């Protein structure tokens, strides 16, 4: 399974990224081949379970560093044409660079080998570019409930109160905060900073007001009442 993003600027510049869902890598990589800010110890997330003696680099940083460097001089407010191709369908949208970069980075992060983001792999596999906040809430809640179903099938303790989902949002919020510090060391323009700041805001918002968002969607399930 793959995702292909093509960004076409009005000045003719084109950025293309072909990202496979499966990206196996060794735990120890040659540090001379990657920027210093991709090493695991560089602004390592405070909740990261990986150990520096076992892993040389941050999985998310390794997977996204080419994308981040490609957008280093592209301003977030710049209007671009974005074409997204998956094995099933294609998407097109003319919008600001930040919106497209957020969608691409979101896919890369969710499909990376980061253990804190492993619960997002299902959503990444069924990637939806340019998702709205409501679509994100719906997809995350649905994905979480499916996860709980599989736990139930194995006689585990399942959660219908979304306590675990709220905790996941908090974990991602912490991860985004520290990853933003990595990006600050790599970028001159504001696109990458804004996109991570936006992801940070979304995870923070959902961890604090998940019930409200779910309540707002309840009318979809009233079955004509």
Could you report the per-residue pLDDT of 20-34, keeping only the tens digit for each? 999 998 999 999 999
Tokens of 205: 């918002």
Contact at 8 Å (CB) between 48 and 177?
no
Whether 117 has a pLDDT exceeding 70, the answer reads yes
Whether 196 has a pLDDT exceeding 70, the answer reads no
Q: Sheet harboring 79-85: ordered strands across?
A: 14-20, 2-9, 79-85, 90-96
* CA 162 to chain CA centroid, nearest Å: 20
What percent of the chain shows pLDDT beyond 90? 53
Average pLDDT over residues 77-95: 93
Whether 78 has a pLDDT exceeding 90, the answer reads no
Q: How far apart are CA 207 and CA 41, in angstroms?
A: 27
């Amino acid at each position: 399974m793959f995702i292909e993003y093509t960004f076409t600027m009005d000045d003719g510049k084109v950025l293309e990224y072909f990202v496979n869902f499966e990206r196996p890598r060794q735990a120890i990589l040659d540090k001379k081949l990657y920027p210093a800010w991709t090493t695991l110890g560089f602004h390592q997330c405070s909740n990261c379970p990986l150990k520096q003696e076992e892993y040389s680099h941050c999985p998310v940083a390794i997977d996204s560093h080419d994308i981040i460097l490609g957008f280093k001089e592209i301003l977030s407010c710049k209007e671009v044409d974005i074409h997204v191709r998956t094995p099933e369908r294609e998407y097109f949208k003319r919008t600001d660079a930040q919106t497209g970069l957020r969608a691409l980075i979101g896919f890369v992060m969710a499909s990376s080998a980061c253990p804190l983001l492993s619960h997002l792999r299902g959503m990444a596999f069924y990637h939806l570019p340019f998702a709205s906040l409501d679509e994100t809430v719906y997809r995350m809640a649905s994905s979480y409930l499916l996860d709980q179903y599989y736990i139930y099938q194995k006689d585990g303790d399942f959660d219908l109160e979304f306590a675990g989902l709220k905790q996941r949002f908090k974990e991602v919020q912490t991860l985004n905060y520290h990853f933003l510090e990595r990006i600050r060391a790599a970028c001159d323009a504001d696109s990458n900073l804004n996109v991570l700041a936006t992801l940070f805001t979304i995870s923070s918002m959902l961890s604090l007001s998940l019930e409200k968002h779910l309540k707002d969607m309840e009318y979809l399930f009233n079955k004509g009442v």
